Amino acid sequence: MLKQFVLPLFICLVAASQAAIAKPDNLADEQILRRGNGSEVQTLDPHKAEGVPASNILRDLYEGLTIEAPDGKVIPGAAESWEISDDGKVYIFHIRKNAKWSNGDPVTAADFVYGLRRSVDPATGSQYSQILAPILNAEDIITGNKPIEDLGVEAIDDRTLKITLKASTPYLLGLLNHSTTYPVHKDSVDAHGDQFSRPGKLISNGAYVLKEWKVQSQVTVERNPMYWDNDNTIIEKVIYLPIEEASAELKRYRAGELDISGGIPANQYDWIMKNLPGELHVAPTLGTYYYGFNLTRPPFKDNLKLRQALSMAVDRNILTDKITKAGEIPAYGWVPPGVNNYNSQQLDYANMPKAERLKKAQQLYQEAGYSKGNPLTLEIRYNTSENHKKIAIAISAMWKMNLGIRTRLINEEWKVFLENRKQKKLTEAFRGGWIGDYNDAFTFAELMQSSHGINDSGYDNPEYDKLLEQAANEGDLDKRRDIMEAAERMLLQDHAIMPLYFYVTKHLIKPYVKGYTPNILDHTYSKNLWITKH
């Protein structure tokens, strides 16, 4: 079967962790790492999980065909090497001989076939399955038009996996370290059903195993002795603490209860720079903070002028200069700067003088049917976080001052917030943030595809979907870039969302935690860190 097509490009790399971590002489006796992790996770089922907090833990528990080096470069994970066909549509992956599940079972190509099929199976209920659309027949399976057995994945033998794509996909290797592509232990799923991802039942193939999950308290993972690269893993235990309030997290960090923070409180940035300058790590990341408009119901349904007026009435520079203050970039586009082979697009009023922009916003607001005498009353929903609250208060004040809008701020716990966004029955304007899953513009573009499970605005533009389909099937990288840029311009013209700023990562890290390297996706594997004596 392998001889039926040409495989001219051979990639064989040694995972960076085998050489990158030289164990120092001054290791602390206790290698326990405590990480702030934002909100309580919904689930640790890799095919159902959403959000950064769950992803952080899942990267410790599971390993995809590829992983990332500390600097973010894609390197071999459970697959030690791979070949790519001349047309870029067929990938052959070679699973490591010493790859094992945490119970000692070998990790096989069939495990990846099972995991990928489970991800796209409508019965699984994954909101993220659309991310696997590049794989042959994935979209038809997701929509229920083909059986999962038709997915373009095949176990040639125990150690050889074949993935067939519908078209050449330049970001595939980066995609294959996303949780939707992780294998899961079939016998465990068969035995425990939806409970397979709970402590005592979860069998994983990553550097760590799940030891404990106390809701709203902590998730604890411990070193997996069966992991193929366990000899180069130093951290013995990682404790993930769900701390939604940034000020509370800072207090616990200062008290020595945290080694790495998930973020920082915006109003404490100046104090931190003065008092903890060597412990604050700020770096660019591929992420956009935005407000979504629910396009499926009033007041935003079929009211482009209203959406545009609200966007034009917001001064993004005030948000970044006065509130976030850590180098965030005001956003007038959807795709952040720094994406491979892409030129980020902007709203046409990005450089318009403020007075002129506000005048236009007021005109559009009136044309949309509102005025200071007949004001819009609007709800803003955001998940629990004092930083999100400060942004919401500022935007509410801008809308009131510039347009006369009356707003009601609604704070919701993470799980409730996500569910309400998804249902689209209550939401009007809502806080959103999207961090790229891989370094390609498509990770932003596909979120707004009409069929995407996390398209919480309900944006549905057939022309936009058509452009994404063209981009997905275009092998010429320059033509593909042009199509993607046209799609972003269309999305911005439709004002389906209101971009506010481009993220930077902000972590407080104790000086004794070593091995941390900032990268553009803000992915830090605990297995690449260690703690020195202090």
The neighbouring-strand residues paired with 401 are none
Cα dihedral 459, 461, 462, 463, rounded to 10, equals -130
Q: Are 456 and 422 in contact (CB under 8 A)?
A: yes
User: What CATH class does 2-242+509-531 carry?
Assistant: alpha beta
Per the document, the length of the chain is 534
Q: What angle do CA 200, 203, 208 make, to 5 degrees?
A: 90
Residue 9: its pLDDT value, please?
A: 39
What is the Cα–Cα distance from 260 to 243, expressed in whole angstroms?
Answer: 12
Statement: residue 48 has pLDDT above 60: yes
**Stretch 96-106: mean pLDDT:** 98
Residue 23: its pLDDT value, please?
A: 64
Residue 17: its pLDDT value, please?
A: 40
DSSP-derived 3-state class of residue 500: strand
Mean pLDDT score across all residues of the chain: 93
Statement: residue 327 has pLDDT above 80: yes
Statement: residue 337 has pLDDT above 70: yes
Tokens of 258: 């945290």
For the stretch 343-366, pLDDT in tens is 999 999 999 999 999 999 999 999
For the stretch 71-100, pLDDT in tens is 999 999 999 999 999 999 999 999 999 999
Of all residues in the chain, what percent carry a pLDDT higher than 90? 90
**Stretch 401-407: mean pLDDT:** 97
Closest CA to 53 of 63, 40, 68, 71: 40
Where does the pLDDT of residue 232 fall: very low under 50, low under 70, confident under 90, or very high at 90 and above? very high
Residues 6 or more apart whose CB falls under 8 angstroms from that of 255 comprise: none
Statement: residue 5 has pLDDT above 60: no
In this structure, are strands 513-514 and 530-531 parallel, antiparallel, or unpaired?
antiparallel
The neighbouring-strand residues paired with 214 are 218
What is the Cα–Cα distance from 332 to 315, expressed in whole angstroms?
Answer: 11
Statement: residue 3 has pLDDT above 60: no
Backbone phi, psi, residue 289, to 5° = -95, 130
Q: Are 192 and 73 in contact (CB under 8 A)?
A: no
Statement: residue 378 has pLDDT above 80: yes
Where does the pLDDT of residue 255 fall: very low under 50, low under 70, confident under 90, or very high at 90 and above? very high
Closest CA to 315 of 301, 300, 302, 331: 331
Residue 347: its pLDDT value, please?
A: 97
For the stretch 178-207, pLDDT in tens is 999 999 999 999 999 999 999 999 999 999
Cα dihedral 294, 298, 300, 301, rounded to 10, equals 90
For the stretch 472-497, pLDDT in tens is 989 899 999 999 999 999 999 999 99
Where does the pLDDT of residue 22 fall: very low under 50, low under 70, confident under 90, or very high at 90 and above? low
Domain boundary assignment for the chain: 2-242+509-531, 284-504
Residue 12: its pLDDT value, please?
A: 41
What is the Cα–Cα distance from 246 to 409, expressed in whole angstroms?
Answer: 19
Statement: residue 15 has pLDDT above 70: no
Residues 6 or more apart whose CB falls under 8 angstroms from that of 243 comprise: 36, 37, 38, 249, 252, 262
User: What CATH class does 284-504 carry?
Assistant: alpha beta
For the stretch 430-455, pLDDT in tens is 999 999 999 999 999 999 999 998 99
For residue 270, how many other CB atoms are within 10 A of its CB? 9
Where does the pLDDT of residue 14 fall: very low under 50, low under 70, confident under 90, or very high at 90 and above? very low
Closest CA to 69 of 6, 126, 2, 13: 13
Q: Are 124 and 130 in contact (CB under 8 A)?
A: no
Residue 8: its pLDDT value, please?
A: 35
What is the Cα–Cα distance from 468 to 289, expressed in whole angstroms?
Answer: 22
Cα–Cα distance list, 59 to 56, 166, 182, 242, 405 (Å): 6, 27, 10, 16, 43
